[in-house]
A = this chain, B = another copy of it.
Amino acid sequence: MSSENIPEIAVSSLSLSSAATIVDAALVLGRRSNFKPLTVAVLDAGGHLVAFKREDASGILRPQIAVGKAWGALGMRLGGRVLAQRAEAHPGFYNALNAVSEGRMVPVPGGVLVRGTDNAVIGAVGISGDIPDNDERCAIAGIEQAGLIADAG
């Protein structure tokens, strides 16, 4: 079979350059807003860490929470805001998801899908430290600063 016959899906993907921009822009907003110390994680579409910063005096579980917000969004292809509503409506199912994901997902606002300019999901951002709404605002600001599309659910 020749390669012309094969449907390949061309998608943009998340570069380190974009991920680093997201992290730094999110933290700029956090400091300017006087939010509590934030931890910011950016994952690629496969759920693997690309860039990460944890501000001084941020608790030692914050890395797992920030990564878990991003990972959960990728796991279900839904932003943390929708995941949180569904987890509240279907606690049994979300308990099962906690287990089946081996503790990798945190269904709370602050997990935001990153879409490329072609709208494909190319990664996710998770932020933890202040209240979920503020975490989410920083994630969205970071993604937009990188010229990408934020999908908070």
Contact = CB atoms under 8 A, between A and B. Distances in A.
A113 to B, nearest CB: 10
Interface centre among A57, A58, A60, A76 (most CB of B within 10 A): A60
Given A1-B21, A92-B91, A92-B94, A52 B51 contact: yes
Interface string A66-81: 0010001011111000
Interface string A15-53: 111111100000000000000000000001111111111
Contact of A61 (B56, B75, B92): B75
A100 B100 contact: no
Interface residues of A, number: 79
Contact of A10 (B10, B45, B77): B10
A77 B101 contact: no
A80 to B, nearest CB: 11
A91 B91 contact: yes
A99 B98 contact: yes
Given A54-B49, A74-B59, A93-B108, A147 B5 contact: yes
Contacts of A50: 53-54
Given A59-B76, A61-B75, A96-B105, 5 more contacts: A9-B13, A9-B15, A46-B46, A57-B77, A61-B76
List 6 A-B pairs, minimum CB-CB distance, nearest first.
Answer: A46-B46, A61-B75, A3-B147, A99-B103, A98-B99, A52-B52
